[in-house]
Amino acid sequence: MTSTQPQGGLFRTKSVEQSIADTDEPGSKLRRELGAFDLTVFGVAVLIGAGIFTITARVAGDITGPAIAISFVIAAIACGFAGLCYAEFASTVPVAGSAYTFSYATFGEFIAWIIGWDLILEYALGAAVVSKSWAQYLGELFGGSSTAASLELGPVTFDWGAVLVIGALTVVLVLGIKLSSRVSTIITSIKVLVVLLVIVVGLFYVQAANYTPFIPPPGGEQESGGGADASLLSLIAGSEGSTFGIYGLLAGASLVFFAFIGFDAVSTTAEETKNPQKDLPRGILGSLGVVTVLYVAVSLVLVGMVNYTQLATPPGSEESATLATAFTLVGANWASTIISVGALAGLTTVVMVLMLGQSRVFYAMSRDGLLPRNLARTGSRGTPVTITIIIGALCAVLAGFFPIDELESMVNIGTLFAFILVAVGTVYLRRNRPDLHRTFTVKALPLVATLAVLSCLWLMLNLTVETWIRFIVWMVLGVVIYFAYSRRNSVLGKRERGEESSVTNPGGPAGPAARPTEPG
């Protein structure tokens, strides 16, 4: 049975069978070397990073106060609903590309392109943001300041620390998925131990008075002032800003949501998983559960150690508080140093997995012809070398020259949009293709998917108007590229038009000899 949706035009769908068949194309085939443990490690590796080591302290000091723990719970609930949908979809369509591939099988090519373009925004900017956090800790550890790993080049600040880590990880990713997995496992073990140290040691410094007021009243020195800097929700409701108070708590949930970004990157490794139908759900849901507990525990310890006002970013300063800052303030400098070392290790794996996810989405889009198809060639180690190098260069430019706060909000809105499409697509595929083999199914899927959509939309409304404007501009650019290049070069479109001889294998020579895989 094939998809019942009409083929052709903007909404032509690529059947699940065809997507799976394309994974066996010679010259562009990935190696299946990952198990459930590897996937869980990847998930934890990408989730325990900037959310704990950098973002938590800054958001608590500038936006939420002690209520940041509630912000984490709200973000976790939204991710939990979306994670269930991802688990079913990924186990049903075990193909590289994550939400892009899922959308191609359900909504059609144009929507698939839009979500693929959106995922490029999510992963590339995500890697750039985390690499900048890595550079902050590098500066604190060796230079005594979070800005020590950067240079002032006239009006531009060049973050050489961020570029350094991206360059090194690009080399690791080029050398193969198994090496990447081993590096991730070792480093993830280190940072989990550091997080546990933070919780245990931090408990000895907690003072109940620091939790009052738990939800600070709106206003204060950090008030946004409204306009484009305020959240869209607070602007609609007529509030003057989105700092502290209820609107601050909700805006904080939209920002700490960044800490959960990455579990969807697990699904991008579907073609490199030995038993994707069983291992992908375990990896996605297992990693989400582990980190949610750790996030809430760390945030409660952090705001209990010091008053949230001590974590506020000074007006006009680019040096924001980190997790290590709290330990320095209470005189535990030895713990601060250990945290800085753990943060360097932890953030390293986050950057690596985000770049890995980005390269696999780019790879899937190239294999389908929506991006130049010759980029989908894989090297002797089974990795898309050219794509990985391109992604590394793009992330290096973003991390080297753009401010962290602007990049961070863009990552969040792009990810939330992807989660919404996956939730809707899971319901659509369940109804239209009930014959597909599913080893993992979500109970009460329509309700779970609806809650996923509503919670993600709610978080999107709490992002700033400026972020929405930038997101719309990025999407418009994607639409222009689709109609200018992708639509006429689509492999699926060429097959429909009978241009079989022009659909060459990306890893082989052009011409009729390189016959494409027939539809399943």
The reported pLDDT for the residue numbered 513 is 35
The pLDDT value recorded for residue 209 is 92
- Which residues, including other chains, have CB under 8 Å from residue 196's CB and lie 6 or more apart? none
Number of Cβ atoms within 10 Å of the Cβ of 341? 15
What's the pLDDT score for residue 208? 92
DSSP string, 82-122: HHHHHHHHHHHS--TTTHHHHHHHHT-HHHHHHHHHHHHHH
Average pLDDT for consecutive 10-residue bins of the chain (520 residues)? 49 77 62 72 73 81 88 86 83 74 84 87 81 81 68 80 89 74 76 86 91 81 50 57 75 79 69 74 80 88 90 73 84 83 80 82 88 82 82 88 67 81 88 81 90 86 81 91 92 77 46 34
Positive/negative CA dihedral, 18, 19, 21, 22: positive
Question: From CA 140, how far away is CA 112, in angstroms rounded?
Answer: 42
What is the token pair recorded at 27? 């010259």
The amino acid occupying position 52 is I
Task: Please say whether the beta carbons of 176 and 269 come within 8 A.
Answer: no
Q: What is the pLDDT of residue 231?
A: 57
Those residues with Cβ within 8 angstroms of residue 480's Cβ, 6 or more apart along the chain or in another chain: none
* Packed helices 68-92 and 445-461: angle between N→C axes, nearest 10 degrees: 130
CA-CA-CA-CA dihedral for 263, 10, 371, 105, to nearest 10: 40
| 104-110-115-117 Cα dihedral, nearest 10 degrees | 120
pLDDT of residue 516: 35
Rounded to whole angstroms, the Cα distance separating 155 from 106 reads 47
- Separation between Cα atoms, residue 57 and residue 336, nearest integer Å: 14
DSSP 144: S
SS3 label, residue 158: strand
Q: Collapse the DSSP code of 406 into the 3-class scheme (helix H, G, I; strand E, B; otherwise coil) and give the result.
A: helix
- What is the structure's pLDDT at 398? 85
Query: What is the DSSP pairing of strand 151-153 with strand 156-158?
Result: antiparallel
C-alpha 497, offset from chain centre: 36
What pairs with residue 231 in β-bridges? 464
Contacts 24+ apart (CB under 8 A), 451-454: 451/81, 452/78, 452/81, 452/82, 452/84, 452/85, 452/419, 452/420, 452/423, 453/420, 453/423, 453/424
Q: Half-sphere exposure (CA, 13 Å, Cβ side) for 34?
A: 35
Q: State residue 408's pLDDT score.
A: 61
All residues at 6 or more sequence positions from 70 whose CB lies less than 8 Å from its CB, including other chains? 64, 249, 253
CA distance 168 to 179: 13
H helical segments located in 368-436 = 385-401, 404-432
Q: What is the pLDDT of residue 24?
A: 61
Per-residue confidence (pLDDT) for residue 514, from 0 to 100: 36
Residue 306 CB contacts under 8 Å (≥ 6 apart), including other chains: 210, 326, 329, 330
